[in-house]
Structure 1
Amino acid sequence: MSHGHCNGSCCGTEQDMQKKEMLKIAVSFVLLAAGIFLSAADVPFFRDGRIRLVWYLAAYVPVGVPVLREAWETMRSGEIFSEFTLMSVAAAGAFLIGEYPEGVAVMVFYAVGELFQDRAVSRAKRSIGALLDVRPETAAVVREKGIETVSPAEVRIGETIEVRVGERVPLDGISESDAASFDTSALTGESVPRRIGRGEEVLAGMIATENVCRIRVARPAGESALSRILDLVRNAADRKAPAELFIRKFARIYTPAVMAAAALIVAVPWVWSLAASGFDYDFGDWLYRGLVFLVVSCPCALVVSVPLGYFGGIGAASRRGILFKGSNYLDAITKVNTVVMDKTGTLTKGVFEVQQVVPAEGLSEKQLLETVAAAEMRSNHPIARAIVRALPEMTPVFLSSSDAKEIPGLGIETTVNGKEVLAGNAKLLGHYGVDFPPETDGIPGTIVLCAVERRYAGYIVVADMPKEDARDAVAGLRKEGIRRIVMLSGDRQAIVSRLAADLGIGQAYGDLLPEGKVERIERLKADPANVVAFVGDGINDAPALALSDVGIAMGGLGSDVAVETADVIVQTDQPGRIPMAIRIGRATRRIVRQNIVLAFAVKLAVLALGAGGLATLWEAVFSDVGVSLLAVLNAVRIMRKRF
């Protein structure tokens, strides 16, 4: 029986382990049912007490031995009174008084509860291993004999490494190439590739997107940007203690209490018989009552009802594209009062679109868009592709362009229909002495300015578009009572502030590296009143996901690292599912509480009857079965509930 915790190396065999547990339970159940039938049919060979004992011991072993092993392990660790101890003593008591079927039945139902528990609780995440997978294992070093491929740890500061197109930079350094484009999303979450010129810093984790570049190493492998992110994940994961299961906490008090009560049921009448005349004390009768009490007090119904409630909640969420990695996170999300959200890929699509076309006097929007598209049509830059996509479908052909010259970090100079066209940022027009209106300063989004024959022709605003349900997600969170919603991003502050205002988010911070996001989370968590959920989708979000009380990842388009690090995964990539996840968590908590109250009520009633000699062992077992069945039906309700 799988009572321990699974690490990353064993997660792949978890289903096999569950199949083995189911097989053990099936074997014990069949033997138990067969034994009961043989007794009821009064089969001659089964009248022999030794045969009955061996038969039920065979039924007991598959489900009982693992519990005995766990009881022994917990005792060795100093925890004498646990549910394993109670189960072991109760089953042993049933066997001692000759009630073999009851002893086996107790263990079978306990095993069923543990099986549900194993399926409902979270398994160890492979976040650190996933991060290591994206860290390059080799570096191409330029040396006297040519380019040598070595481990990044073997590269010395000051040496030059070469990074080809599509490869990830293995070490931090300074660019020795005139200009190169890098995908920086792994570090900043910024979806626009960054142009880096000679002498500028290049960080490990960036990906070369256009041409081969050479980098002079500035830091050893252990101090690279990606290594720092890895350390952040490690430290944040260490600070997040796993939620302890309710039944384990409860058993610390419950188990010694009921064992003491069972002993008192036997001892107190004996003492009373010594002090009071006329009271006939039958040791065998009171021992039977004590053992009945002990069997009745087994927390089987609780062990089944609690995880079943969570199992229902996890199933309901998964049907709606929300994956909770464990029952503890269903509990945790109900307490969240602060939601921090990444921008790119979480609230926005991560795909650029033209938002505004502002032509200069004398030009139409269509003319400006066609001119800039003609200049950008041969570029693979995301901004250029967005502008070309924005052309109306009825445009028959592009305007002819020639002699395109890309100026690193500035833009493009080309000829369109025989006229010189400049398309790029403000520095490009300033470089050619073109005056343009100051209104373009501070506009959120990426601004592409255009000049024709050195005369200002207008500008185009390109920006990452918000997801369709982003606004509804923010409104839904407020409806659920979330008192603070914060946006964090590696994008420029002007872009972040504009989007936050559009969505109704009160606090927004831009220009952040992963360390900056972690700092913001830590500031929020410094106030014990804040229970923080962080929503992200990139590698750069992994430290913040691990540090938050509840980490939520956009699973459809999010990075593997974010998915592995997070506690909750929104597989549909819809931020509107976040308030739904909170509603499901709260509904699950209500059902679990109902199951606990029901289990306690029935348990206390049967305990009282057992102490008074009015309940048999079978009645105790069936009361547990009845409570478990009601708990199952109650848990199934959440699967049909609309959220």
Structure 2
Amino acid sequence: METKCQCCCAHTHTSPQSKEKEQSIIRKIGAPVLSGIFLITGIIFQHQEWVGFSHPVVEFCWFLLGFLPVGLPVMREAWEGILRKDWFNEFSLMALASLGAFYIGEYPEALAVMLLYTLGEMLQDKAVNQATRNIRGLLDVRPERVDVYRENTLRTVSPRDVNVGETIEVKPGERVPLDGTLQNPQAVFDTSALTGESMPRNVSAGGDVLAGMIVSGQAVRILVTKPYDHSTLARILNLVQDAAERKAPAELFIRRFARIYTPIVVLLAVLIVALPALVAAVHPGFDYVFNDWLYRGLVFLVISCPCALIISIPLGYFGGIGAASRMGILFKGSNYLDAITRVNAIVFDKTGTLTTGSFRVTSMQAAGLTEDELLRLVLSVEKKSTHPVAQAVARFAAERGVEPLEVTTLNELAGYGLEAEVGPRKVLVGNIRLLKDRKITVPEELTDCVATVVVCAIDGQYAGCLLLSDTLKEDAMDAIKKIKALKIDNIQMLSGDKQEIVDIFAAELGIDKAYGDLLPEDKAVHLEQLNSAPDVSVAFVGDGMNDAPVLALSDVGIAMGGLGSDAAIESADVVIQTDQPSRVATAISIGRATRRIVMQNIIGAITVKILVLLAGAFGFATLWAAVFADVGVALLVVLNSVRILGKKF
């Protein structure tokens, strides 16, 4: 990397940071290359019985010179560990093995131990760093500059300097840097960075636009609603970064295991050398050669190094968190990635989780006038209201091409509806209680109707009604099917809606246990009862502020993060950024796949190590084989850990 400097000589100058980086790379690569040259030439000189190598001191000094570039850094790490009272780590094991090999005159193998260990660490670091970069690259897509309107002109500033309430402009193909609401009548966005979905999202004026979306078609203006550090994308990054600090049980076990395991294998290595000596002392016929048994002990030490386990387990979980993030699923820690694999009961909130939370008109009944005339009158009265029911009426009228009439007077009747004059007619629009209060007869069947009913009266006579209901999310039925396919049959639904409405949705979705008429505290009691059952691990899926206590009570709390409340997202252990309930099954699948990979790493690494340890103890493995086994196992488990990033769910 080079940077230009404006000086009289007009030469290109390299920055100090670039020089330091280049020197670091040269040192990293140069040390093993130099040591490799010494090792290969030394072996050739030995094999060819070169006259200069006939003197033991020359041979020792040659391999010692080759040892220093790769050995000194490891010896320094070992010494620093000893000063910290960390006596038994991979550095001290390698140092002991190489010094022991020098002692018994196995100079090439002493150098090979350090050289192959250094090369293995380099390859391992490269694999780990590449995996980390891939994960962060999936997420950290925030633009560094943004155009903001100030004093009626566009100014380019850092997104950090944009205030809430200011308007920014984002050009086609650019990423949105901040959360806000759309000011254009209509716009299309690519949401793949946030949701993993390639399908574009259509947003209308006033709709939410989230940081990380890519603008399609035309430039858009966005009114900023959240500061830079509180944007959706910033929240995702913070969650993923914080997740690395929350350890899964397997990860914590391996760390504790390594602290006990390493001193034990050092003691075993000492016993491999010492016990045959005791046998020889008791039985003089036993042929004991100290250097041979010391060699076996050194092989045992090299093979026993636990670095493969220590590195691969957290990397496996980090890979799982990265794969989930790419799918728009945010785990707040590897412990939750592990916990979701044990879930055998899932409880859904209804509104906003399995349903859209927005009403739609399902049917219309007119009395004494046509359906379009009825709809025109209701629309005329409701058109200025922001109530979800009024918005549903407006959408339905737009689909049918019905336009509103002029309203001369309008009076809101809190808790009942609206009273208006539309031309010469007096119109009432609202709930059934409004008409009954005005002594207007309403058909009996409407009183028992489970749907939301909007009734209309003209000049004191019942004129008709519109029936509305919440709508299922597009993938709600798919979500239940996928969860059942994962062998989770205990699926329940909780809602504050009337039991009759809840039963209708439950039947449509194929959920056997559905409970309505529940207050937030009732949901909490229900979940506590479910949790108290033996061998039941519960995941609760919700989106609203009133779901926060239940999310916190469950074994795994899953929040809808796109449109969900901040309280729900804060209380949850897993956040589904796409607001798709089917991603609950995806989250469980990713958790299970991650756990399989982690268990493969643990079992595979321990099995190989035990086999080679036994071979070394009985003299069937050399130091060369030991180093290859240790480095090879470490690389295999690293590659196995990161393969989840390319897995499709």
- Secondary structure of the 2:249 match is coil
Counterpart position of 2:36:
36
Counterpart position of 1:581:
587
Counterpart position of 1:537:
543
- Quote how far apart the aligned CAs of 1:41 are: 4.7
CA distance, structure 2, for counterparts of residue 306 and residue 36 of structure 1: 31
Which of the residues 418, 424, 433 maps onto 2:430? Answer: 424
Counterpart position of 1:467:
473
Mean Cα deviation higher: 375-384 or 587-596: 587-596
Counterpart position of 1:87:
90
- Secondary structure of the 1:553 match is strand
- Quote how far apart the aligned CAs of 1:108 are: 7.8
The share of aligned pairs that are identical, in percent, is: 48
Counterpart position of 1:260:
267
- TM-score scaled by length of structure 1: 0.67
The question of whether the paired residues in 2 share the 8 Å contact of 1:60 and 1:104 is answered with no
- 2:623 maps to 1:617: yes
CA distance, structure 1, for counterparts of residue 26 and residue 438 of structure 2: 82
**CA deviations over 1:532-573 (Å, ceiling 9, x no partner):** 112122343333333322222223223344344433332222
The question of whether the paired residues in 2 share the 8 Å contact of 1:113 and 1:304 is answered with no
Structure 1: gaps spanning 5 or more residues: 1-19, 76-83, 123-239
Rate the CA distance shift 1:27–1:573 in 2: closer, same or farther, 3 A: farther
Tell me the amino acid that sits aligned with residue 432 of structure 2.
Answer: A
Counterpart position of 2:557:
551
Rate the CA distance shift 1:27–1:592 in 2: closer, same or farther, 3 A: farther
The question of whether the paired residues in 2 share the 8 Å contact of 1:28 and 1:108 is answered with no
- Secondary structure of the 2:456 match is strand
Mean Cα deviation higher: 500-509 or 57-66: 57-66
Rate the CA distance shift 1:626–1:342 in 2: closer, same or farther, 3 A: same
Which of the residues 391, 396, 399 maps onto 2:397? Answer: 391
Tell me the amino acid that sits aligned with residue 73 of structure 2.
Answer: A
Rate the CA distance shift 1:115–1:506 in 2: closer, same or farther, 3 A: same
**CA deviations over 1:187-230 (Å, ceiling 9, x no partner):** xxxxxxxxxxxxxxxxxxxxxxxxxxxxxxxxxxxxxxxxxxxx
Tell me the amino acid that sits aligned with residue 303 of structure 2.
Answer: V
- Quote how far apart the aligned CAs of 1:362 are: 3.1
CA distance, structure 2, for counterparts of residue 30 and residue 565 of structure 1: 51
- Quote how far apart the aligned CAs of 1:358 are: 3.0
- Secondary structure of the 2:534 match is coil
Which of the residues 295, 299, 307 maps onto 1:292? Answer: 299
Rate the CA distance shift 1:33–1:457 in 2: closer, same or farther, 3 A: farther
Rate the CA distance shift 1:619–1:522 in 2: closer, same or farther, 3 A: same
Which of the residues 73, 80, 100 maps onto 1:59? Answer: 73
Counterpart position of 1:365:
371
- Secondary structure of the 2:357 match is strand
- 2:538 maps to 1:527: no
Structure 2: gaps spanning 5 or more residues: 1-19, 46-57, 103-109, 136-245
CA distance, structure 1, for counterparts of residue 297 and residue 264 of structure 2: 13
The question of whether the paired residues in 2 share the 8 Å contact of 1:90 and 1:103 is answered with no
Counterpart position of 2:607:
601
Tell me the amino acid that sits aligned with residue 510 of structure 2.
Answer: G
- Quote how far apart the aligned CAs of 1:383 are: 1.5
Q: CA RMSD in A?
A: 3.9
Rate the CA distance shift 1:329–1:465 in 2: closer, same or farther, 3 A: same
CA distance, structure 1, for counterparts of residue 561 and residue 26 of structure 2: 36
The question of whether the paired residues in 2 share the 8 Å contact of 1:349 and 1:467 is answered with yes
- TM-score scaled by length of structure 2: 0.67
The question of whether the paired residues in 2 share the 8 Å contact of 1:470 and 1:503 is answered with yes
- Quote how far apart the aligned CAs of 1:413 are: 0.7
CA distance, structure 2, for counterparts of residue 90 and residue 407 of structure 1: 82
- Return the structure number with greater relative CO, CA threshold 8 A, min gap 6: 1
Counterpart position of 2:634:
628
- Give the number of aligned pairs: 496
The question of whether the paired residues in 2 share the 8 Å contact of 1:551 and 1:566 is answered with yes
The question of whether the paired residues in 1 share the 8 Å contact of 2:74 and 2:95 is answered with no
- Quote how far apart the aligned CAs of 1:90 are: 1.4
CA distance, structure 1, for counterparts of residue 349 and residue 376 of structure 2: 34
Matches within 5 A, 1:21-170: 31-41=31-41, 47=61, 55-56=69-70, 58-60=72-74, 72=85, 85-97=88-100, 98=102, 99=110, 102=113, 106=117, 112=124, 116=128
- Secondary structure of the 1:391 match is helix
- 2:455 maps to 1:449: yes
Counterpart position of 1:342:
349
Rate the CA distance shift 1:329–1:37 in 2: closer, same or farther, 3 A: farther
- Quote how far apart the aligned CAs of 1:390 are: 0.8
Rate the CA distance shift 1:470–1:277 in 2: closer, same or farther, 3 A: same
- 2:409 maps to 1:403: yes
Rate the CA distance shift 1:326–1:617 in 2: closer, same or farther, 3 A: farther
CA distance, structure 2, for counterparts of residue 86 and residue 493 of structure 1: 62
CA distance, structure 2, for counterparts of residue 385 and residue 50 of structure 1: 82
CA distance, structure 1, for counterparts of residue 344 and residue 125 of structure 2: 32
The question of whether the paired residues in 2 share the 8 Å contact of 1:553 and 1:568 is answered with yes
CA distance, structure 2, for counterparts of residue 55 and residue 620 of structure 1: 21
The question of whether the paired residues in 2 share the 8 Å contact of 1:63 and 1:108 is answered with no
Counterpart position of 2:486:
480
Which of the residues 332, 340, 345 maps onto 1:333? Answer: 340
The question of whether the paired residues in 1 share the 8 Å contact of 2:34 and 2:69 is answered with no
Rate the CA distance shift 1:58–1:443 in 2: closer, same or farther, 3 A: farther
- Secondary structure of the 2:36 match is helix
Tell me the amino acid that sits aligned with residue 542 of structure 1.
Answer: A
Tell me the amino acid that sits aligned with residue 336 of structure 1.
Answer: V
- Quote how far apart the aligned CAs of 1:422 are: 1.1
The question of whether the paired residues in 2 share the 8 Å contact of 1:56 and 1:101 is answered with no
- Quote how far apart the aligned CAs of 1:277 are: 1.3
- Secondary structure of the 2:492 match is strand
- Secondary structure of the 2:408 match is strand
- Secondary structure of the 2:590 match is helix
The question of whether the paired residues in 2 share the 8 Å contact of 1:110 and 1:303 is answered with no
The question of whether the paired residues in 1 share the 8 Å contact of 2:127 and 2:639 is answered with no
Mean Cα deviation higher: 311-320 or 464-473: 311-320
CA distance, structure 1, for counterparts of residue 270 and residue 460 of structure 2: 98
Tell me the amino acid that sits aligned with residue 347 of structure 2.
Answer: V
The question of whether the paired residues in 1 share the 8 Å contact of 2:375 and 2:402 is answered with no
Counterpart position of 1:503:
509
Rate the CA distance shift 1:449–1:33 in 2: closer, same or farther, 3 A: farther
Rate the CA distance shift 1:25–1:444 in 2: closer, same or farther, 3 A: farther
CA distance, structure 2, for counterparts of residue 353 and residue 385 of structure 1: 9
Tell me the amino acid that sits aligned with residue 260 of structure 1.
Answer: L
Counterpart position of 1:414:
420
CA distance, structure 2, for counterparts of residue 481 and residue 348 of structure 1: 23
Tell me the amino acid that sits aligned with residue 426 of structure 2.
Answer: E
